[in-house]
Amino acid sequence: MSRSAVWHPFTQHATEPPPPAIARTDGAYLETRDGRRILDAISSWWVVTHGHRHPRIMEAIRIATDTLDQVIFAGLTHEPAEQLASALVAMAPAGLDWVFYSDSGSTSVEVALKMTLGYFRNIGAPRSRIVVMEHGYHGDTIGAMSVGARGVFNAAYEPLLFEVDRIPFSAAGREQATLDAFETVTRDGQAAALIVEPLVLGAGGMLMYPARVLGELKRIAERSGTLVIADEVMTGWGRTGTPFACEQAGIAPDILCTSKGLTGGAIPLAATLATDAIFRAHYSRDRARTFFHSSSYTANPIACAAALANIGIWKEEPVAERVAALSRMQAEKIARFSEDPRFENARVTGTIAALDLRVGSAGYLTEIGPRLRAFFLERGLLVRPLGNVIYVLPPYCVTSDELDRLYGTIDEAAALASGSS
């Protein structure tokens, strides 16, 4: 094959080998052109929930293509989008009554931030300060980067980013410091919104915190009139053990962002759900109060059909039982490392498990990261550590035997740390 012209995401082409070409996907596996099967232990960047090419979702896509392709969504509508919006409102935490479609997790966050600022401006009490949690990640567009952690991911783009108020991550034993910091920053009633990944901070290192902290953050926000934006792009659709992570805290955010598992991972789609109060702030005979946001592919009918099929699977198949079983398996299998001196902070929330490999130099750019990726791939496992943080986030169809092989290989991978600096 001639040299590829493709520029891959999060890839340093000067140091990375040419990537394997995937020819087929099925269930929990990717298959290369030469027939090698690779267990997708990270759900292809956290998007695939039920497994690759679930028949029901694939059939919904095929049927949709018989009648529709893209339809402009400004001034027109279509049945897949209408049905999906109703289904999302019924499934989401109570009070999220309006659905705005977009294309990706990053854009769903941009929509949420713009909704927030538009809400306060339109009610005649403008606020613009956004509060974020340390180590958070919300995407790679400008607004999403601004509300995420600052570091190697976005250092080159610092001149474009707006300032935010940061509260510390709710580490074990330091939960009150997080709550006190949020109380302080919202006391003057000028904070517009807190944006947070509920229960698990994904790209920041699979950092986990208890549901009671999320619940208390919401109560503090309510006292100051601060909106809460739940970034459920990764944590939604069962990843933390429930359809949405917010459910475990017993809260309903003012705005909820969803993508990744929305279509079961089959095709891109995102949605930002908002309360009626936020919609009503934009509802006016004054056209200047319109919510000015769109993308060319808003509410793509084929993607909406895939998402509807995904919700049908949740309703009609034992998905909750599969999620519960995977959650139990994850907890059981990672327990072997809880006292292992080669690792630290073995942790689980729902179907997500993670642990930190002890190395001399940690962090995303530690040399152990690429070596670990290569080590796992050679053994037929797609694992993409966040530096020295190894995490397991598989589709719900993965078996106990497959997890045994994966965790056995994690055990072997610890030997690589002896050569790291």
Q: What is the pLDDT of residues 41-75, one digit of tens each?
A: 999 999 999 999 999 999 999 999 999 999 999 99
Residue 269 resides in a domain: yes
Q: Are residues 282 and 335 in the same domain?
A: no
Report whether 312 contacts 327 (CB < 8 A).
Answer: no
Instruction: Say if 406 falls within a structural domain.
Output: yes
Q: Are residues 407 and 258 in the same domain?
A: no
The pairs formed by 158-165 with CB atoms below 8 angstroms and a separation of 24 or more are: 162/130, 164/129, 164/130, 164/131, 164/132, 165/129, 165/130, 165/131, 165/132, 165/191
For 330, counting Cβ atoms within 10 Å of its Cβ (0-12 exposed, 13-18 middle, 19+ buried), the class is buried
Domain end among 252, 283, 316: 316
- DSSP labels for 247-268? HHHT---SEEEE-GGGGTTSS-
Domain that holds residue 409: 320-419
159-218 pLDDT, tens digit per residue, is 999 999 999 999 999 999 999 999 999 999 999 999 999 999 999 999 999 999 999 999
264, 290, 316: which is the final residue of a domain? 316
The answer to whether residue 76 is domain-embedded is yes
Same domain membership, residue 331 and residue 248: no
Confidence (pLDDT) at 364: 86
Residue 142 lies in a domain: yes
Residues 288 and 343 in one domain: no
DSSP letters, 132-163, are EETT----SSHHHHHTS--STTTGGGGGGPPP
| Assigned domain for 7 exists | no
334/267 same-domain check: no
Q: Kindly state whether residues 228 and 355 are assigned to the same domain.
A: no
275 and 325 in a single domain? The answer is: no
| C-alpha separations of 346 from 364, 389, 390, 395 in Å | 18, 10, 10, 20
Residue 42 lies inside a defined structural domain of this protein:
no
pLDDT in tens, the chain (421 residues): 568 999 999 999 999 999 999 999 999 999 999 999 999 999 999 999 999 999 999 999 999 999 999 999 999 999 999 999 999 999 999 999 999 999 999 999 999 999 999 999 999 999 999 999 999 999 999 999 999 999 999 999 999 999 999 999 999 999 999 999 999 999 999 999 999 999 999 999 999 999 999 999 999 999 999 999 999 999 999 999 999 999 999 999 999 999 999 999 999 999 999 999 999 999 999 999 999 999 999 999 999 999 999 999 999 999 999 999 999 999 999 999 999 999 999 999 999 999 999 998 888 888 899 999 999 999 999 999 999 999 999 999 999 999 999 999 999 999 888 755 4
Q: Where residue 390 sits, what CATH number does that domain have?
A: 3.90.1150.10
N residues, the chain: 421
Is 213 inside a domain boundary?
yes
| Residues 168 and 213 placed together within one structural domain of the fold | yes
Looking at the structure, tell me whether residues 337 and 374 fall in a common domain: yes
pLDDT for the residue 419? 58
CATH label of the domain that carries residue 205? 3.40.640.10
Residues 81 and 124 in one domain: yes
Domain co-membership, 179 together with 222: yes
Amino acid in the structure at residue 375: F
The whole-number pLDDT of residue 86 equals: 98
In 276-341 the beta strands, taken as DSSP E runs, fall at none
Same domain, 307 and 180: yes
Q: Is the pTM of this model over 0.75?
A: yes
Q: Which of 285, 316, 347 is the last residue of a domain?
A: 316
Please give the tally of structural domains in the chain: 2
- Residue 361 maps to a domain: yes
